[in-house]
């Protein structure tokens, strides 16, 4: 299996503040990678760099061996929840259809029957079809999150990037999202930013720890030492109830 994403010595500065420091990362096809790290550690910046939304200061990013601008249609993105404008007067169905807009697609020419059918299929799969005419401001957090995932899927991506998809969701809604991602992972590579350590040990295949630098990239078995270096604070602050598997290495010391 080849690399679908490859970052080499990627640096990102915002003015004079360095947000990402010499990031090297390779993601294999059908991986399910979790990116963890403290607030301000550069997780969203890294996703936006992969999407080409943020210009990198130096280094190199390739998707399927292509430069980013040639791979735009291959990648779906679910933005960080709080950043989404819920007041925008648009319905669920319209949001999902917008996911199909490509550069050459004019919003006002309308959507083809096949596109409408595709949107219906995706909404049914994500259990939001009943909500299709609802304004997005009138959805619960879990419902809105599924709408945003549906929008990302509408473009039929090969890679799905999600920025904290389960933040502020209750336990049931979280499980529902993770089960969905597990299903989608059969067909696509997934990268998910999360603070949810229980998901990390249960659902993901590999993990990257980011605090400006990437400290660890591998299987989801983490030593307390690594977590401590990444977060720079006692781990019980960030990982309340860390499952045993995560602390595996620590136990052996
Ligand atoms: N547009 C911007 N202009 C200037 N600085 C920015 C910008 N976006 C992010 N930063 C800074 O870059 C650093 C990394 O931010 P980023 O949003 O990537 O962190 P994060 O790991 O996603 O954090 P969180 O867990 O809070 O979402 C922070 O110090 C932040 O203040
Ligand atoms: Mg973020």
**pLDDT tens digit string along 110-127?**
778 888 898 999 999 889
Assessment of whether the complete model's pTM goes beyond 0.95:
no
SS3 191: strand
- Give yes or no for residue 39 CB within 6 A of ligand 1: yes
Q: What is the pLDDT of residue 219?
A: 82
| Residues with C-beta atoms within 5 A of ion ligand 2 | 43-44, 80
Mean pLDDT rounded to a whole number for the chain: 83
Q: CA 227 → CA 144, 177, 179, 224, 234, distances in Å?
A: 31, 25, 26, 5, 9
Helix 141-154 × helix 113-125 angle, to 10°: 140
Domain containing 77: what range? 3-252
Residue 201's closest CA among 175, 222, 174, 223? 222
- Give yes or no for residue 82 CB within 6 A of ligand 1: no
Banded pLDDT at 102 (limits 50, 70, 90) = low
Q: Kindly state the tokens that stand for 112.
A: 């083809």
Helix 171-184 × helix 141-154 angle, to 10°: 10
Total domains, the chain: 1
Q: What share of the chain is helix, strand, coil (3-state, %, to 5)?
A: 40, 25, 35
Residue 106 belongs to domain with CATH number: 3.40.50.300
Q: What is the pLDDT of residue 251?
A: 40
- Give yes or no for residue 42 CB within 6 A of ligand 1: yes
């Amino acid at each position: 299996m080849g690399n679908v994403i490859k970052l080499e010595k990627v640096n990102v500065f915002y003015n004079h503040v360095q947000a990402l420091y010499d990031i090297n990362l390779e993601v294999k096809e059908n991986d399910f990678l979790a990116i963890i790290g403290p607030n301000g550690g550069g997780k969203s910046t890294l996703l936006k760099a992969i999407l080409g939304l943020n210009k990198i200061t130096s280094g190199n990013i390739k998707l399927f061996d292509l430069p980013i601008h040639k791979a735009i249609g291959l990648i779906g993105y679910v933005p960080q929840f709080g950043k989404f404008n819920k007041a925008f007067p648009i319905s669920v169905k319209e949001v999902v259809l917008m996911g199909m807009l490509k550069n050459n697609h004019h919003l006002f020419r309308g959507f083809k029957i096949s596109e409408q059918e595709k949107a219906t299929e995706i909404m049914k799969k994500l259990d939001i079809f009943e909500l299709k005419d609802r304004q997005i401001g009138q959805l619960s957090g879990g419902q809105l999150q599924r709408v945003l995932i549906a929008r990302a899927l509408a473009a039929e991506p090969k890679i799905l990037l999600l920025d904290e998809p389960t933040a502020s969701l209750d336990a049931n809604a979280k499980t529902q999202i993770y089960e969905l991602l597990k299903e989608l992972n059969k067909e696509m590579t997934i990268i998910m930013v999360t603070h949810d350590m229980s998901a990390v040990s249960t659902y993901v295949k590999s993990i990257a720890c980011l605090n400006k630098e990437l400290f660890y990239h591998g299987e989801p078995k983490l030593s307390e030492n690594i977590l401590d270096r990444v977060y720079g604070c006692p781990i019980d602050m960030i990982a309340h109830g860390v499952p045993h598997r995560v602390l595996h290495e620590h136990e052996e010391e």
